[in-house]
Amino acid sequence: MSERLTATPAGVTLGPLALIPEDTSRNFVLELRAGRFHGFVVRKGDAVHGYVDLCAHMALPLAQELDAYLTPDAGLIQCSWHGALYRIDDGICVGGPCVGARLRAWPVTISDGMIVTA
């Protein structure tokens, strides 16, 4: 079994911005030599925000369904296990069992219409 990583190298192209419709999220699993990385990206307009797929409350993956990281109104990231709510722009928990804790950021950016790790 490979180790679960919490970071990726910069410059990995994840795909075109259109891969993630506005106000939605998408899971990414990257198989690297050092192990496997699990993360997700949230798109808000032309901005993307990436996070390691681990809840700050219990270190479980946030979504029980593929790509289902957001509240129904797409205003917050929500852990489907215990209901922790995180702001999209900075990953800080604003509701639930770990208020004040923060998701681990996964730096991503947009370059020439492509989502790329930073």
Does 92 score more than 70 pLDDT?
Answer: yes
**Average pLDDT, integer, range 94-115:** 97
Q: What are 81-90's pLDDT values in tens digits?
A: 999 999 999 9
Burial of 62 (0-12, 13-18, 19+ CB in 10 A): buried
Q: What are 3-54's pLDDT values in tens digits?
A: 789 999 999 999 999 999 999 999 999 999 999 999 999 999 999 999 999 9
Arch. (CATH architecture) of 4-68+104-117: 3-layer Sandwich (2.102)
* pLDDT score for 78: 98
Give this prediction's pTM.
0.95
In this prediction, residue 2 has a pLDDT band, given cuts at 50, 70 and 90, of low
Q: How far apart are the C-alpha atoms of 12 and 102, rounded to whole Å?
A: 24
Cβ-contact 97, 82 below 8 angstroms: yes
